[in-house]
Chain A
Amino acid sequence: METKYLLKMDNISKEYFGNKVLKNVQLHVAPGEIHALMGENGAGKSTLMNILFGMPVIHNTGGFEGTIQFDGQTVNIDSPQKAMELGIGMVHQEFMLIPGFTVTENVKLGREITTPTIASGVFGKSLEKLDRPAMASDARKALDTIGLNIPETDTVGGMPVGYMQFIEIAREIDKTGMKLLIFDEPTAVLTESEAQKLLETMQVLTSKGISIIFITHRIDEVIQVANSMTVLRDGTFVQHVETKGTTAAEIAEMMVGRKVEKLVDDAGKDTRTISDDDILLRLKDFHVDMPGEKVRGVDLDIRRGEILGIGGLAGQGKVGIPNGILGLYKSTGTVKFEGEVIETEKLGAALKKHIAFVSEDRRGVGLLLEESIENNITFTAMQIDGKFLKNYGPLKLFDSKKAREHALDMIKQLDIRCTGPEQYAGRLSGGNQQKVCLARAITMEPKLLIVSEPTRGIDIGAKKLVLELLAKMNREEGMTIIMVSSELNELRSLCDRIAIVSDGQLTGIFAPDASDAEYGMAMSGVKGGNK
Chain B
Amino acid sequence: MTKEKFKKALDVIGIPRLIVFCFLLAIVIVAYVNGIDVKSYLTSTMKYWGMWVILVLAMIPTIKCGIGPNYGVSLGIVAGLLGPLLSIQFNIAPAVNAVLPGFGPWAAMFFAMIVSGVLAWLVGIVYGKILNLVKGSEMTVTTYIGYSVIYLMCIVWFRAPFSSGEITWPLGGVGVRNSVSMETSFGGLLNDVLSFSIFGVEIPTGLILFCLLICFVVYLFFRTKTGLAIQATGANPTFARASGIDVDKMRVKGVALSTLLGALGIVIYTQGFGYLQAYTAPLQMGFICVASVLIGGATMNKATIMNVIIGTFLYQGLVIFTPPVSNQLLAGTDISDTMRQIIQNGVILYALVKSKGGSSNE
CB neighbors of A among B208-253 (8 A)? 220, 223-225, 228-229, 232, 235-236, 238-239, 241-246
> How many Cβ-Cβ contacts under 8 Å join chain A to chain B?
73
CB neighbors of B among A364-417 (8 A)? 364-371, 379-380, 382-384, 386, 389, 395-398
B245, B302, B361: the one within 8 Å of A364 (CB): B361
In the bound complex, residues from chain A placing their C-beta under 8 Å from that of B241 are: 328, 347, 365
Contact A383/B238 with A395-B224, A398-B224 known, Cβ cut-off 8 Å:
no
A286 at the interface (CB under 8 A from B): no
Closest to B247 in A: A347
Q: Contact: A363 with B244, CB < 8 Å?
A: no
CB neighbors of B among A140-161 (8 A)? none
Chain A interface residue count, Cβ-Cβ cutoff 8 angstroms: 31
Contact A395/B239 with A348-B244, A363-B361, A379-B228 known, Cβ cut-off 8 Å:
no
Q: Contact: B239 with A368, CB < 8 Å?
A: yes
A307 at the interface (CB under 8 A from B): no
Contact A326/B224 with A367-B236, A371-B235 known, Cβ cut-off 8 Å:
no
A365, A371, A382: the one within 8 Å of B225 (CB): A382
Give CA–CA (A363, B236) in the complex, Å: 10
Closest to B228 in A: A398
- Give the interface residue-count category, chain B: 10 to 19
Q: Contact: A397 with B223, CB < 8 Å?
A: yes
Q: Contact: A389 with B243, CB < 8 Å?
A: no
In the bound complex, residues from chain A placing their C-beta under 8 Å from that of B225 are: 382-383, 386, 389, 396, 398
In the bound complex, residues from chain A placing their C-beta under 8 Å from that of B224 are: 389, 395-398
B220, B238, B244, B302: the one within 8 Å of A351 (CB): B244
In the bound complex, residues from chain A placing their C-beta under 8 Å from that of B243 are: 348, 351, 379-380, 383-384
Q: Contact: B246 with A369, CB < 8 Å?
A: no
Give CA–CA (A398, B223) in the complex, Å: 5
Distance in angstroms from A418 CB to nearest chain B CB is 19
Q: Contact: A397 with B232, CB < 8 Å?
A: no
Q: Contact: A368 with B246, CB < 8 Å?
A: no
In the bound complex, residues from chain A placing their C-beta under 8 Å from that of B246 are: 347
In the bound complex, residues from chain B placing their C-beta under 8 Å from that of A398 are: 223-225, 228
Interface string of B236-279 (1 = CB under 8 A from A): 10110111111000000000000000000000000000000000
Closest to A390 in B: B223
In the bound complex, residues from chain A placing their C-beta under 8 Å from that of B228 are: 379, 382-383, 398
Q: Contact: B242 with A357, CB < 8 Å?
A: yes
A359 at the interface (CB under 8 A from B): yes
A472 at the interface (CB under 8 A from B): no
Closest to B242 in A: A365
A352 at the interface (CB under 8 A from B): yes
Give CA–CA (A361, B224) in the complex, Å: 28
In the bound complex, residues from chain A placing their C-beta under 8 Å from that of B235 are: 368-371
In the bound complex, residues from chain A placing their C-beta under 8 Å from that of B239 are: 365-368
Distance in angstroms from B136 CB to nearest chain A CB is 17
In the bound complex, residues from chain B placing their C-beta under 8 Å from that of A397 are: 220, 223-224
Q: Contact: B242 with A326, CB < 8 Å?
A: yes
In the bound complex, residues from chain B placing their C-beta under 8 Å from that of A383 are: 225, 228-229, 232, 243-245
In the bound complex, residues from chain A placing their C-beta under 8 Å from that of B238 are: 361, 364-365
B220, B223, B232, B244: the one within 8 Å of A368 (CB): B232
Interface string of A304-341 (1 = CB under 8 A from B): 00000000000000000000001010000000000000
* Most chain A CB within a 10 A radius of its CB, from B238, B244, B246: B244
CB neighbors of A among B132-168 (8 A)? none
CB neighbors of A among B16-65 (8 A)? none
In the bound complex, residues from chain B placing their C-beta under 8 Å from that of A351 are: 243-244
Distance in angstroms from B223 CB to nearest chain A CB is 4
In the bound complex, residues from chain B placing their C-beta under 8 Å from that of A364 are: 236, 238, 361
A365, A370, A395: the one within 8 Å of B302 (CB): A370
Give CA–CA (A514, B170) in the complex, Å: 93
Contact A395/B242 with A368-B235, A382-B228 known, Cβ cut-off 8 Å:
no
In the bound complex, residues from chain B placing their C-beta under 8 Å from that of A379 are: 228, 232, 243
Distance in angstroms from A423 CB to nearest chain B CB is 15
Give CA–CA (A369, B302) in the complex, Å: 13
Distance in angstroms from B101 CB to nearest chain A CB is 33
Give CA–CA (A386, B224) in the complex, Å: 10
Give CA–CA (A295, B128) in the complex, Å: 34
In the bound complex, residues from chain B placing their C-beta under 8 Å from that of A352 are: 244
Contact A380/B244 with A363-B361, A370-B235 known, Cβ cut-off 8 Å:
yes
Contact A369/B242 with A379-B232, A395-B220 known, Cβ cut-off 8 Å:
no
Give CA–CA (A328, B247) in the complex, Å: 12
Interface string of A74-115 (1 = CB under 8 A from B): 000000000000000000000000000000000000000000
Give CA–CA (A395, B223) in the complex, Å: 10
Give CA–CA (A361, B241) in the complex, Å: 13
Distance in angstroms from A251 CB to nearest chain B CB is 39
Distance in angstroms from A107 CB to nearest chain B CB is 34
In the bound complex, residues from chain B placing their C-beta under 8 Å from that of A380 are: 242-244
CB neighbors of A among B185-227 (8 A)? 220, 223-225
* Most chain A CB within a 10 A radius of its CB, from B220, B229, B245: B245
7 contacts between A and B (CB under 8 A): A328-B242, A365-B241, A371-B235, A379-B243, A380-B242, A389-B225, A396-B224
Binding site for A on B (CB under 8 A): 220, 223-225, 228-229, 232, 235-236, 238-239, 241-246, 302, 361
Binding site for B on A (CB under 8 A): 326, 328, 347-349, 351-352, 357, 359, 361, 363-371, 379-380, 382-384, 386, 389, 395-398, 426
* 8 other A-B residue contacts (CB within 8 Å) besides A347-B245, A359-B242: A351-B243, A365-B236, A365-B238, A365-B242, A379-B232, A379-B243, A395-B220, A398-B224
Q: Which 10 A-B pairs have the closest CB atoms?
A: A348-B244, A380-B243, A398-B223, A351-B244, A397-B223, A365-B238, A368-B235, A365-B242, A383-B243, A368-B236
